[in-house]
Structure 1
Amino acid sequence: MTFDTPPAAFAGASDTATGYDDLFGAIGLHDLVPASLAAWRPLLAEALAFFLERLPEERLAALLAEQFAAADAPAAARAAALLAHCPTLHKLGQVVARHHELDPELRRHLQQLESMPSTLPVAPLVQRIRAQSGTGARLQIADAALAEGSVAVVLPFAWWEDGRLRDGVFKVLKPRVAEHLAQELAVLPALAAFLAARGARLGLPAIDYHGHLASVQRLLTQEIRLDVEQANMRAAAALLADDGAVFVPRLLPWCSAGVTAMERVHGGRVNDAALPAARRRMLGHEMVGALLARPFWSQADPAIFHGDLHGGNLLLADDGRLAVLDWSLTARLAKAEREAVVAIALGAMALDEKQIRDGLARLGMRDAGCPQAERTVAQALDALVRSARPVGFDWLVGLLDRLALQGATGFGAELAVFRKSWLSLAGVLRDLDTGPAADLPLVSIGLQRFFAEMPARMLSRADSRAFSTHVSTADLIALAGAAWPAGMRYWSRLLGNA
């Protein structure tokens, strides 16, 4: 494998190293791609090499020196360390950390990227916090960090309120993280062009790499906007205000554009808690209900969803409630988009390929009626029939993924974040072993909303979707009328796949 400009920092770093292939092979970085997507592994390796060698030489030299110094460490640990070196790759590691197809040892090390011990000097961070938050000496800021993430460090502090000592935390950006992120994001346009050209030579489907990486660029830029995160936290806190099981930490008065101050949550990561099976199932229902079902089945336009639901952002507080942290990345799905999702689900229930394709078109997909899309929808319905399971988010996300891998375009960035959030949450639920029915709270809350809106339906037009369930009375009548044809389609598919 050769590239235009081999990095000078790599030359001579090891007598036995012959290129990135040696490094990636030694640390098993190819295994970040699950076996089901093995055809994409060569492209991932070449894309990572393309990305790394375009970083400033000082950063690349530090990364490679760290790798060769840790030559005797487990491969999975070295892979996680490489990803932690770059904010963009750190986020990639968090996204795939709970993918069930990955090697368990690799997953364990990747999950450490969700919340790591910090090795950064604390004094400069404290100085920056005091300067930006205007706290002076009133607060007792700890001399050791609590945790470190992809772009920020968390420091605990204490203050007196109403005669009691209270606990809080400051979230402050890591030194030079904005500079490093800017360097990495500047590579993405060239990386998109490389991926398109190299993917074509490898015979892979033509994906809209430019569109996808432009979305990544916009979303990662939000990661360092702490003022945006604070606004998101206020919106999420209002949404969950009457939820007794799930909450957003309270913001404190010492927030600024560069520092977030919030109440401290005493507890640990939800996946690390030793809980009886019944409590794990209840926690799973509470998470799906609060973070997915509640915003989805609402009339809010748009509705806010947490966009980064990895294990490090879900803490089980000492009082038994679930705290949801890090609202820097959110998805805001318009009501029309949620109506389209429901239309696709209804089409799947009726095994109606045309209705599914129409729903995909409403969701933004271009060429939803092309032959390739028709085949993919048909195959997804065949798989649904063979599974003998009801339609769920796993099925819908799987359909969207297959279409995306075939080059389907038009799905917006917000939908991509929503999909990522569901996949991350599903991984947390799987690790927590909450049982197979992850979609049950979604269906349950949807039914509650449906029965609550029945009186209003009696006074509304039959084609109105001005309801939190996003479905009109005419849609429901059509679904009921499709019961007999759906039964025929079911047996036809089942026998056809026998």
Structure 2
Amino acid sequence: MTTSFPPAAAAGLAPLLMPAVAELVPPAWAGYRPLIVEALDGFLGRLSGARLDAIVAAQLELPEDATAAARVVALARACPSLHKLGQVLARDRRLDAQLRVRLQTLESLPPETPAEVWLPLIRAEIGAVPHLEIAPQALAEASVAIVVPFARHGGIAPDARGVFKVLKPGIEAQLAEELAIWAELGDWLEARSAELGLPELPYRETLSGVQGLLLNEIRPETEQAHLAAACRRHAEDPNVLIPQPLEYCTPRLTAMTRIDGDKITEATGHRPRLARALYAALLAQPFWQPQAQTMFHADPHAGNLRVTADGRLAILDWSLVAVLDREARIALVRVVLAALAQDGALFAHALAALGRPVREDALRALSATALAEVRTGRLPGFDWLLSVLDRAATMRALEFPESLVLLRKALFTLAGVVAELDADCGAVPLLLKHAFDARSFDPRGFGPHVFAGDLGTLWLSGLPIAARWWAGYWQDWSGGRLPFLPVPG
């Protein structure tokens, strides 16, 4: 018996949109095509009538021969949760190239909301401010907010250029409506996935866990705190710029310094240097922070990354962050060290420390597979570690906390942007460089603990490590997994 979910209420929407969605599912994910189409159909069917009518109208305004990618992007623009998903997938090279180009337009949208809508909202928050001039035209429009430039001239305070980030009218209700639907849809996704014979995935836990984090998108005070923390972290870095929050901030309005620059993927020069700067600023520096908890930018799509005229990296939009504690970062390092040492018990223990173990058999199987990959020549680097975390989730070996779910998404997005700048740029060399950098290798931090403790232990246990490698090679050889060696008869 097929698990049902309410279909789209508008009769004209399904014929326009669902074939386009099905067409854009990559061949490698063909088995998921019915699940994706049915889930989207059910999501739209739960939206309010007014919103659904607006989505239908937008689809009907497109030319009859509009491409599938154009139809999907038009839908994403009308739904903030789908807009955010589109930004995440925009740099995924497994997707159709035409779709990726279309999705990349969601990273930086021209403003559409007229001034008569957003100007009263700004005035209501800041009141009458002498010598402050608000531009008549917005600078940009994101998934949940509008960015409006302003300038301050004369008076006692120094001249300044800044931007207001004001929430779109009604966006809180829209996002709350959508997130509630996705949370409800989690149970259906798990049941329908089983009916289709697809791998068991923790849809419900993932969707409900990320829900609270996505709500930070509509909490200006939260972003203001994140901006202040990011400014403190990068204050001594001459190559990185962070917008500074200004005195006009309110609980519903963020005011910050304006940083002009080109979208990072449109930079014409110094692309390898920019790729390294991205990994350094958004991965290596926060990873080796000495504090008990450290903050990672969790929405590093290309629209939030700019290059200034003098070649500096500007990192915008700090509404979404993932906070990782010292123990989780130590566990990530130990996963890699355990793979190098071919220590299956240490590998499973370190991986289990990142979440809540669900299936011990899946955890053991993943440990065996991951260690075999390293023995057969795969470097236990950044891509390998991300793939291990993804498989731990898809195999239901672990349930990750919401912060690590968000970080995995962010690192996936970051890797896609870096690959467009420099396909040969690796994260591991930069992580190691910052680990031994004098500013990062703080005696209060966990770097000395990991390297003095774990590496010291590995150094003293060289013989057992060698024995584990040879034992693993024998298993691979016996099982025919080493193609360059003959299999014993």
Q: TM-score, normalised by structure 2?
A: 0.91
Aligned residue type for 2:80? P
Alignment match of 1:331 (pick from 318, 322, 325): 322
- 2:294 and 2:440 mapped to 1: Cα distance? 21
Alignment match of 1:414 (pick from 399, 403, 411): 403
Query: What is the aligned partner in structure 1 of residue 133 from structure 2?
Result: 140
Alignment match of 1:400 (pick from 376, 389, 402): 389
Deviates more, 1:486-495 or 1:262-271: 486-495
- 1:158 and 1:271 mapped to 2: Cα distance? 28
Query: What is the aligned partner in structure 2 of residue 60 from structure 1?
Result: 52
Deviation at 1:265, TM superposition (A): 1.0
Query: What is the aligned partner in structure 1 of residue 218 from structure 2?
Result: 224
- C-alpha spacing 1:470/1:260, structure 2 compared with 1 (3 Å): farther
- 1:251 and 1:96 mapped to 2: Cα distance? 30
Deviation at 1:399, TM superposition (A): 0.9
Deviation string 1:291-338 (CA, Å, 9 cap, x unpaired) is: 111111122111010010000000101221111011000011010111
The 8 Å contact of residues 291 and 326 in structure 2, kept in 1 or not, is answered as yes
Query: What is the aligned partner in structure 1 of residue 229 from structure 2?
Result: 235
- C-alpha spacing 1:494/1:158, structure 2 compared with 1 (3 Å): farther
**Is residue 375 of structure 1 aligned with residue 362 of structure 2?**
no
SS at 2:356 equivalent: coil
The 8 Å contact of residues 295 and 321 in structure 2, kept in 1 or not, is answered as yes
The 8 Å contact of residues 7 and 44 in structure 2, kept in 1 or not, is answered as no
**Is residue 366 of structure 1 aligned with residue 357 of structure 2?**
yes
Alignment match of 1:433 (pick from 422, 440, 445): 422
- 2:200 and 2:416 mapped to 1: Cα distance? 28
Deviates more, 1:330-339 or 1:118-127: 118-127
Misfit runs of 4+, over 6 Å: none
- C-alpha spacing 1:30/1:346, structure 2 compared with 1 (3 Å): farther
Query: What is the aligned partner in structure 1 of residue 103 from structure 2?
Result: 110
Query: What is the aligned partner in structure 1 of residue 454 from structure 2?
Result: 475
Query: What is the aligned partner in structure 2 of residue 78 from structure 1?
Result: 71
Aligned residue type for 2:30? A
SS at 1:439 equivalent: helix
Deviation at 1:469, TM superposition (A): 4.9
Aligned residue type for 1:53? G
Deviates more, 1:161-170 or 1:296-305: 161-170
Deviation at 1:35, TM superposition (A): 4.1
Deviation at 1:389, TM superposition (A): 4.4
Deviation string 1:158-207 (CA, Å, 9 cap, x unpaired) is: 11267975321111001110011121122123201211211111122332
- 1:215 and 1:385 mapped to 2: Cα distance? 35
Show the 5 A alignment for 1:88-487.
88-136=81-129, 138-160=131-153, 165-275=159-269, 279-367=270-358, 370-386=360-376, 388-433=377-422, 435-448=424-437, 452=441, 467-471=446-450, 473-480=452-459, 481-482=461-462, 483-487=465-469
Deviation string 1:10-43 (CA, Å, 9 cap, x unpaired) is: 22x3xxxxx7366222x24553x54444322221
The 8 Å contact of residues 3 and 192 in structure 2, kept in 1 or not, is answered as no
- C-alpha spacing 1:195/1:451, structure 2 compared with 1 (3 Å): closer
Deviation at 1:391, TM superposition (A): 1.7
Deviation at 1:2, TM superposition (A): 9.7
The 8 Å contact of residues 342 and 470 in structure 1, kept in 2 or not, is answered as no
Query: What is the aligned partner in structure 2 of residue 488 from structure 1?
Result: 470
SS at 1:390 equivalent: coil
Alignment match of 2:18 (pick from 24, 30, 48): 24
Structure 2: 5+ residue stretches without partners: 484-489
- 1:155 and 1:113 mapped to 2: Cα distance? 18
- 2:453 and 2:431 mapped to 1: Cα distance? 22
Query: What is the aligned partner in structure 2 of residue 16 from structure 1?
Result: none
- C-alpha spacing 1:126/1:376, structure 2 compared with 1 (3 Å): same
Aligned residue type for 2:289? S
Deviation at 1:487, TM superposition (A): 4.0
SS at 2:247 equivalent: coil
Query: What is the aligned partner in structure 1 of residue 486 from structure 2?
Result: none
Aligned residue type for 1:349? L
Q: TM-score, normalised by structure 1?
A: 0.89
The 8 Å contact of residues 441 and 447 in structure 2, kept in 1 or not, is answered as no
The 8 Å contact of residues 393 and 399 in structure 2, kept in 1 or not, is answered as no
- 2:117 and 2:70 mapped to 1: Cα distance? 29
The 8 Å contact of residues 292 and 326 in structure 2, kept in 1 or not, is answered as yes
Deviation at 1:92, TM superposition (A): 0.6
Deviation string 1:247-306 (CA, Å, 9 cap, x unpaired) is: 21111111111111111111111111111xxx2222111111121111111221110100
- 1:289 and 1:329 mapped to 2: Cα distance? 19
Deviation string 1:115-169 (CA, Å, 9 cap, x unpaired) is: 1011111122111112112344632111111111110011111112679753211
Deviation at 1:351, TM superposition (A): 2.3
Alignment match of 1:87 (pick from 80, 98, 109): 80
- 1:332 and 1:164 mapped to 2: Cα distance? 35
Query: What is the aligned partner in structure 2 of residue 462 from structure 1?
Result: none
SS at 1:53 equivalent: helix
The 8 Å contact of residues 5 and 42 in structure 2, kept in 1 or not, is answered as no
- C-alpha spacing 1:252/1:474, structure 2 compared with 1 (3 Å): closer
- C-alpha spacing 1:76/1:470, structure 2 compared with 1 (3 Å): farther
Aligned residue type for 1:326? D
- C-alpha spacing 1:449/1:39, structure 2 compared with 1 (3 Å): farther
Deviation at 1:405, TM superposition (A): 1.3
